[in-house]
Structure 1
Amino acid sequence: MVTRIHVGGDRAYDVLVGNDLDGELPGLIDGAARVAVLYSAPLRERAERIAAALPGVTPIEVPDAERGKTVAVAAQCWDELGKAGFTRTDVVVGVGGGAVTDLAGFVAASWLRGVRWVPVSTSLLGMVDASVGGKTGVNIDAGKNLVGAFHPPAGVLCDLDALTTLPPDDLTAGLAEVIKCGFIADPRILELVEGDPAGAADPAGRTLRELVERAIQVKADVVSVDLKESGLREILNYGHTLGHAIEKREKYTWKHGHAVSVGLIFAAALSRLSGRLDAATAARHRAVLDQVGLPTAYGQEAWTDLLSAMRVDKKTRAATLRFVVLDGLAKPGILTGPSEELLVEAYAEVAR
């Protein structure tokens, strides 16, 4: 059974969730004479199977994970598209986790000012976050995802079979983004995780499929209204301001989901300490993240570095820091210009 989740807007598309979805790809790229397939070494076999059914394939292997999300790697991809004679009717396909699909989308967005692209997501994080919504980009020394474009895909394939090959740690990391969706929009997600934490991390189980579909629906509902993060879409960054700062400090050796998990604790503390969130809902963050084995603490000595990194976050306006917070369960809002004393007090709950 294939579940189709519609993402509306000016450039609408569907996210397909199910098993054995490779046969759906040719229908998403109708009319293409050439297809570039971007993948990292661990996904070579999967990429080759996908490429076998596509026209005029240019395979492009890129470094794995965040090491591939650089301007230099994007430039190498552009060179390959140039050599292959890519035109505006051709398509870029990204096979892999969120880093590969972010890169593939950015390469597509910038080639001839925008060609079609399709993410074939192979990680839980990619399925529920990176591949949906049309955000594409690369990292630079100043921070994560600071260079990029909004470029919706022609469609998204979330093949649940791929999750059975993930290391358990990668699967758990992806649950951070799922849990985030529970706190900002769909509390049923939290109930599912709390009621069956083992099932939440079982790639062959019904619980995880429902979690994937619900998290994608949350994101689809938001980006259908606000593609370019001019308002509502900011709520998807709940927990990400500190999370991205941790990733930068760790030189991207931390998994994105692990960093976001710590960021969720910080955001909940900010929400409570600023008088906007009740103590029980704030405490629920740590409880549910602990249930699935996600990290909820980070070093006290890191605060100065983290504060510096947060000052170049995408939500910052001029010199004013802005954070997504909660005014209650599934009631996200924005906290603008919190005092440094409040930030330090909130971080103390992360550093303990």
Structure 2
Amino acid sequence: MIEVTVDLGERSYPILIGAGVRHELAHYLPERTRRVAIITQDGIGWASNIATDVDESIHMIGNGEAAKSLGTVEMLCDEFVSAGLTRSDTVVGVGGGVVTDVAGFAASVYYRGIAVIQIPTTLLGMIDAAIGGKTGVNLTAGKNLVGAFWQPTAVLCDTEALTTLPAREMRSGLGELAKYHFLTGDDLDALPLEKQIAAAAQIKGRAVSADEQEKTGVRAKLNYGHTLAHALETAGRYDLRHGEAVAIGLAYAARLAQMLGRIDDARVAEHVRVLAKHDLPVSIPSSADPDELVRIIRRDKKSTGDGLTFVLDGPRGVELVSEVPEDVVLAAMKQLRG
């Protein structure tokens, strides 16, 4: 078992990585917890065999991005009331990124905030979604436009879940993991998977410690590849998992940075090499409408003023870049369309 700490002073919390760590849940429940509300989805199967040593209730949500809605959060909060959950009790999310996002947000608003522990069951959840306290749901206008920063009490990354993860979901997680290669320059692929997860958790934990609520731009670097990815997911119609969309977003961000003179052709080729190694997509779907994608990107949470905002590679490494010219954004999209 590997333990990584997210350092937030009195709100610091552990990330445990290893086989069987879900069985440590009871040890990490806050002392006053008398009831636990477990949020999960069909097909995950762990919710009924995790010992909490307190009263517990199980709350099912739908599958896919459609479940990340204010309606789902309202339903859960109503169920929490019926289950007798109080301010001293704890929500536990058991599932992938949709579950951990929804569980965290529901915990943040119920009684103005109760404890949450995350047990991610996908690679993507273990290296990103469950860590850092960014919770939220979608609106018709875009992904994650309503949410809160609400840190968990603990994150338990049980690698036993990955042994039965479908190949496409595993590949999706590798798309998110590829992001860390460009944030650090380290060859994470050389490490065993458990240590890759720990390395990614450590990188994210440091960014969260330095810039919990994305005020300074340090944490925004973690959104590398996500600007276009979220636009593709919001537009829909492309049958893309989140990590697949991120892979396309990484390839696009490299092309855009090259067109802006920030990186050279060799660095673009390095992006493509890392993504292709995991059989991840590197082209924008041919049916995508660049003008529609730009309209969605204008609503991106990173945007703070005129022009478009992206996280891009460059001479100083990956950083937040504002006021990117729209004509260059469109030209790069047209170049990368499959």
Residue 244 of structure 2: aligned partner: 258
Residue 18 of structure 2: aligned partner: 18
SS at match of 2:46: helix
Aligned ranges for residues 160-309 of structure 1 at < 5 Å?
160-189=159-188, 192=190, 207-231=192-216, 232-250=218-236, 253-300=239-286, 301-309=288-296
For 2:76, the aligned partner's letter is C
Q: 1:324 aligns with which of 305, 311, 331?
A: 311
**1:15-48: per-residue Cα shift (whole Å, max 9, x none)?**
00000112210111133111000000111x2110
**1:50-75: per-residue Cα shift (whole Å, max 9, x none)?**
1x444111110110232221110110
Residue 195 of structure 1: aligned partner: none
Cα distance in 2 for residues equivalent to 1:106 and 1:97: 14
The alignment's TM-score, normalised by the length of structure 1, stands at 0.91
Structure 1 residue ranges, 4+ long, deviating more than 4 angstroms after superposition: none
SS at match of 2:60: strand
For 1:98, the aligned partner's letter is G
For the 8 Å contact 1:94–1:120, the answer to whether it is kept is yes
Cα distance in 2 for residues equivalent to 1:131 and 1:252: 25
For 2:167, the aligned partner's letter is P
Residue 88 of structure 1: how far off its partner (Å): 1.3
Residue 310 of structure 1: aligned partner: 297
Higher alpha-carbon deviation: 251-260 or 313-322: 251-260
Cα distance in 2 for residues equivalent to 1:19 and 1:251: 36
SS at match of 2:4: strand
Residue 90 of structure 1: how far off its partner (Å): 0.2
**1:120-173: per-residue Cα shift (whole Å, max 9, x none)?**
010000000000001001111010000000000000000000001100010011
Residue 126 of structure 2: aligned partner: 127
For the 8 Å contact 1:186–1:218, the answer to whether it is kept is no
For the 8 Å contact 1:97–1:126, the answer to whether it is kept is yes
For the 8 Å contact 1:311–1:319, the answer to whether it is kept is no
Residue 265 of structure 1: how far off its partner (Å): 0.8
For the 8 Å contact 1:35–1:54, the answer to whether it is kept is no
Higher alpha-carbon deviation: 177-186 or 146-155: 177-186
Size of the alignment, in residue pairs? Answer: 334
Identity across the alignment (%): 38
Cα distance in 1 for residues equivalent to 2:254 and 2:194: 27
SS at match of 1:260: helix
Residue 196 of structure 1: aligned partner: none
Change (3 A) 1:118 1:253: farther
Matched, 1:60 2:71: no
Cα distance in 1 for residues equivalent to 2:156 and 2:220: 24
**1:250-292: per-residue Cα shift (whole Å, max 9, x none)?**
1684210011110001111111111111221121111111111
Cα distance in 2 for residues equivalent to 1:77 and 1:314: 26
The alignment's TM-score, normalised by the length of structure 2, stands at 0.95
Cα distance in 1 for residues equivalent to 2:141 and 2:94: 27
- Larger relative helix fraction: 1
Cα distance in 1 for residues equivalent to 2:66 and 2:237: 10
Residue 188 of structure 1: how far off its partner (Å): 2.3
For 1:23, the aligned partner's letter is H
**Superposition RMSD in Å:** 1.5
For the 8 Å contact 2:308–2:326, the answer to whether it is kept is no
SS at match of 1:42: coil
Aligned ranges for residues 22-61 of structure 1 at < 5 Å?
22-29=22-29, 30-43=31-44, 45-50=45-50, 52-61=51-60
Residue 326 of structure 2: aligned partner: 340
Cα distance in 2 for residues equivalent to 1:252 and 1:280: 29
Change (3 A) 1:251 1:224: farther
Cα distance in 2 for residues equivalent to 1:348 and 1:183: 24
For 2:123, the aligned partner's letter is L
Cα distance in 2 for residues equivalent to 1:253 and 1:296: 15
Unaligned runs of 5+ in 1: 193-205
Residue 142 of structure 1: aligned partner: 141
Change (3 A) 1:146 1:6: same
For the 8 Å contact 1:65–1:97, the answer to whether it is kept is no
